[in-house]
Structure 1
Amino acid sequence: MPRATRSAIGPRRLHPGAWWLWALGLGAAASRTTNPLLLLLIVAVAGYVVAVRRSTEPWARSYGTFLKLALVVLGIRLVFTVLLGSAVGGTHVVLTLPQLPLPDWAQGVRIGGRVTLEALLFSLYQSLRLATLLICVGAANSLASPSRLLRTLPGALYEAGVAAVVAMTFAPNLVADVQRVRTARRLRGRSDKGIKALLSVGLPVLESALERSVSLAAAMDSRGFGRTADVPPRIARTTGALTLLGLLGVCVACYGLLSADGGGWAFPVLLLGLLAAGAGLALGGRRSLRTRYRPDPWAWREWSVAGSGAAVAGLLILLSLRDPAGFNPTVVPPSWPTLPVLPALAVLLGLLPAFVAPSPAPSSLPPRQP
């Protein structure tokens, strides 16, 4: 599309696929380590990029929700470790709880008892890695527009993409509706706290969600959603086989890349899986009759953002094979984690989108009235 046309319709926006590739790269890097210093550095990088490049759209406010969800996951794992124990033993007893006697058939399970420092550290490191993965997904969800991401999907995945986009946008829209209704109650002098206020807020929120669903269904029906072209059965079967085998190959290769013994065979399997999946999606796209209005360009900014995430993931995978101890500090005996220099510099490459991505566009919604 010509540059003048893009500037005429508003500020330049980054391709949503670039944001997701960047976030997935940070998530892949986080999956290679349990070092809390590296994980917190990844969280800081993702948070800084979100802070400087997040727009003011309703779906962009979901990052705080993912942060709270990550803290909840962290707390639940630690509470379970305290109450139910852990498979990791230890000699540094932090506290001792009254232990509930269990029958003989429940051997190996305990409720209460000794809580060791080693078990707490192991649970903290493992849950912090999961929390970091959730934060990376939240960063992508708050930076990439779900509707624009749907437009970039191949025709073969359009139906599944609609379901995924509706699922991803439900939570942010629900949070925005709750905040809007609570603000309206406060402006009218009513309380927004307590069970009674919660019940009175629920009805308008559900009504708004129902109205959005009906409007979405009407818009999809008016645009001929679901209309497909006739293709020969042989091509349809070939498309399904290529897509299924390709996606299975990609999943197996990703598992091999993340494991310690898959460095030799995982990369060729990944290439073959991507080729097979790409061919299947290209053939499946022949069934779709839809067109794209003003497609999002993929220029050097998109390559830079996606490449920074891929660089972080690739460098941390290679460095973790060379120095496993720095990426996974020991908990038995407990040791103070250290921040390895080269992996930390590699994680800092994830800050590149904060400088090369275009500034966030203003919200398309009218400002709130005080």
Structure 2
Amino acid sequence: MTRSSGTARLHPALRAPEATRANALPAGAWWLWALGLAAAASRTTNPLLLGLLVGVAGYVVAARRTDAPWARSYGAFVRIGLFVVAVRLVFSVVLGSSVPGAHTLFTLPGVPMPDWAQGIRIGGRVTAEQLVFALYEGAKLATLLICVGAANSLASPARLLKSLPGALYEVGVAVVVAMTFAPNMVADVARLRTARRLRGRPTGGVRAVLQIGLPVLEGALERSVAVAASMDARGYGRTAQVPTAVRRTTHVLTLGGLLGVCAGTYGLLSAQGAVHGLPLLLAGLAVAMAGLGLGGRRSVRTRYRPDRWGVRAWLVATSGAAVAAAMIWAGAAGPEALHPGVVPLTAPVLPLWPAAAVLVGLMPAVVAPLPASPSDSKEHVA
């Protein structure tokens, strides 16, 4: 069965087309979707809801991931998340926890601490309550990382940097150059090691590394000079003249907007600041975008093939925002279901309507364009 046969019964207007350069989703839509899932994960420690968020992100990645090299990073983020959970459990066992518990599992030898380090404990009694609490907290952080990994697997970093505002043009070009430098250097190292192996020379050891490092650095320097020359030939760095009042207003708006975004993000991630965090975040984004818009007047560049935000892109971004808004509302209405009790230990229960809201995050697997695959045309419907 082909990858697109699952949507064959849909109405032609709703059927997801095959992705091309013209209809591919903007990278910002994928990041907004993933950040919405991450914001929802930050509002709960219920392992059932966190597992559902990971499942939603993993399903969308499996359904819409391409074969590009940067699309293979999702597995690495999953492994990093599992490592974070393991480290959180180890720290809880070795350093103890402030969570009281009545179910002792085992006792480690304690290390006496000096008077100036009172309050710090190494070893001692390990309870089931503290391990469950550490597991919940580690799972929440792991889910945040996995959501970020989903955005990295689905969004092209080059297209994301191309969509930056004109005020951040210099930063975007610097990041693009840095991102292309590392893969080229790795390719040069592999090429030189292969050449040395064919000549019967050793490829390991300090001497071999020194002999390979000089040609690699020389090639990197030559590419940097070539990139600088091409950028100068294309007029990079030339800016338009703007009035002093506009420049000062730009600085004030950008700085104030970024401060508002930081304060609003902190309010969303805190337990009691969700009500005030969202309006502050939206206001900060509006002010920052106004500052970036004014700052873009200094840039005289043009944009080749700008990304267009169509209906599908807005549906993808809105689905992530809907999941975050529903989880914030559920945390304000009934926080008990989103934060299972640890003292005393209680089994987590899956709240129905927050779980249904999380499933809205599956919308990109239906509306986003299908990744092109050369083998699809050769397969037959089962």
Q: Under a length normalisation based on structure 1, what TM-score does the superposition of the two structures give?
A: 0.82
- Change in 2 beyond 3 A, CA 1:182/1:61: farther
CA distance in 1, matches of 2:51, 2:193: 34
Q: Which residue of 1 aligns with 2:44?
A: 33
Are 1:153 and 2:164 an aligned pair?
yes
Q: Which residue of 2 aligns with 1:347?
A: 358
Q: Given that residues 74 and 127 in structure 1 are in contact (C-alpha distance below 8 angstroms), is that contact kept between their aligned partners in structure 2? A: yes
Q: Given that residues 20 and 372 in structure 2 are in contact (C-alpha distance below 8 angstroms), is that contact kept between their aligned partners in structure 1? A: no
Q: What whole-Å deviation, never above 9, does each CA across 1:333-367 have from its counterpart, x for those lacking one?
A: 1211111111111111111001110012469xxxx
Q: Given that residues 62 and 142 in structure 1 are in contact (C-alpha distance below 8 angstroms), is that contact kept between their aligned partners in structure 2? A: yes
Q: Which residue of 1 aligns with 2:11?
A: none
Q: What is the Cα deviation at residue 248 of structure 1?
A: 1.3
CA distance in 1, matches of 2:19, 2:88: 51
CA distance in 1, matches of 2:206, 2:305: 47
Larger radius of gyration: 2
Q: Given that residues 319 and 360 in structure 2 are in contact (C-alpha distance below 8 angstroms), is that contact kept between their aligned partners in structure 1? A: yes
CA distance in 1, matches of 2:197, 2:132: 44
Q: What whole-Å deviation, never above 9, does each CA across 1:90-141 have from its counterpart, x for those lacking one?
A: 1211221111222222221122111111111111111111111111111111
Q: Given that residues 58 and 173 in structure 1 are in contact (C-alpha distance below 8 angstroms), is that contact kept between their aligned partners in structure 2? A: no
Q: Which residue of 2 aligns with 1:97?
A: 108
Q: What is the Cα deviation at residue 263 of structure 1?
A: 5.0
Q: Given that residues 274 and 328 in structure 2 are in contact (C-alpha distance below 8 angstroms), is that contact kept between their aligned partners in structure 1? A: no
Q: What is the Cα deviation at residue 174 of structure 1?
A: 8.8
Q: What is the Cα deviation at residue 196 of structure 1?
A: 12
Q: What is the Cα deviation at residue 11 of structure 1?
A: 6.1
Q: What whole-Å deviation, never above 9, does each CA across 1:176-196 have from its counterpart, x for those lacking one?
A: 9999999999999xxx99999
Match of 2:367 among 353, 356, 362: 356
**Unpaired segments of 5 or more residues in structure 1?**
1-6, 364-370
Match of 1:24 among 25, 35, 45: 35
- Change in 2 beyond 3 A, CA 1:222/1:333: farther
Q: What whole-Å deviation, never above 9, does each CA across 1:272-331 have from its counterpart, x for those lacking one?
A: 323321211110000111111111111001011001001101111111111101111111
CA distance in 1, matches of 2:183, 2:347: 38
CA distance in 1, matches of 2:135, 2:282: 36
SS in 1 for 2:147: helix
Residues matched between the structures, number: 356
CA distance in 2, matches of 1:20, 1:226: 29
AA paired with 1:331? V
SS in 2 for 1:115: strand
CA distance in 1, matches of 2:192, 2:61: 26
Q: What is the Cα deviation at residue 224 of structure 1?
A: 3.2
Q: Given that residues 58 and 172 in structure 1 are in contact (C-alpha distance below 8 angstroms), is that contact kept between their aligned partners in structure 2? A: no
Moved more, 176-185 or 288-297: 176-185
Q: Given that residues 43 and 271 in structure 2 are in contact (C-alpha distance below 8 angstroms), is that contact kept between their aligned partners in structure 1? A: no
Q: Which residue of 2 aligns with 1:296?
A: 307
Are 1:224 and 2:205 an aligned pair?
no
Q: Which residue of 2 aligns with 1:3?
A: none
Q: Given that residues 47 and 139 in structure 1 are in contact (C-alpha distance below 8 angstroms), is that contact kept between their aligned partners in structure 2? A: yes
Q: Given that residues 19 and 369 in structure 2 are in contact (C-alpha distance below 8 angstroms), is that contact kept between their aligned partners in structure 1? A: no
Q: Which residue of 2 aligns with 1:243?
A: 254
Match of 2:343 among 332, 337, 348: 332
Q: Under a length normalisation based on structure 2, what TM-score does the superposition of the two structures give?
A: 0.80
SS in 2 for 1:100: coil
CA distance in 2, matches of 1:199, 1:89: 56
Q: Given that residues 260 and 321 in structure 1 are in contact (C-alpha distance below 8 angstroms), is that contact kept between their aligned partners in structure 2? A: no
Moved more, 150-159 or 24-33: 150-159
RMSD: 3.7
Moved more, 249-258 or 133-142: 249-258
- Change in 2 beyond 3 A, CA 1:330/1:184: farther
Q: How high is the sequence identity, in percent, across the aligned residues? A: 65
- Change in 2 beyond 3 A, CA 1:48/1:114: same
Match of 2:66 among 51, 55, 62: 55
Q: What is the Cα deviation at residue 37 of structure 1?
A: 0.9
Q: Given that residues 162 and 172 in structure 2 are in contact (C-alpha distance below 8 angstroms), is that contact kept between their aligned partners in structure 1? A: no
SS in 2 for 1:296: coil
Q: Which residue of 1 aligns with 2:145?
A: 134
Moved more, 131-140 or 163-172: 163-172
Q: Which residue of 2 aligns with 1:66?
A: 77
- Change in 2 beyond 3 A, CA 1:237/1:208: same
Moved more, 334-343 or 272-281: 272-281
Q: Which residue of 2 aligns with 1:367?
A: none
CA distance in 1, matches of 2:213, 2:46: 42
Q: What whole-Å deviation, never above 9, does each CA across 1:242-290 have from its counterpart, x for those lacking one?
A: 1111121222223334444445544443343233212111100001111
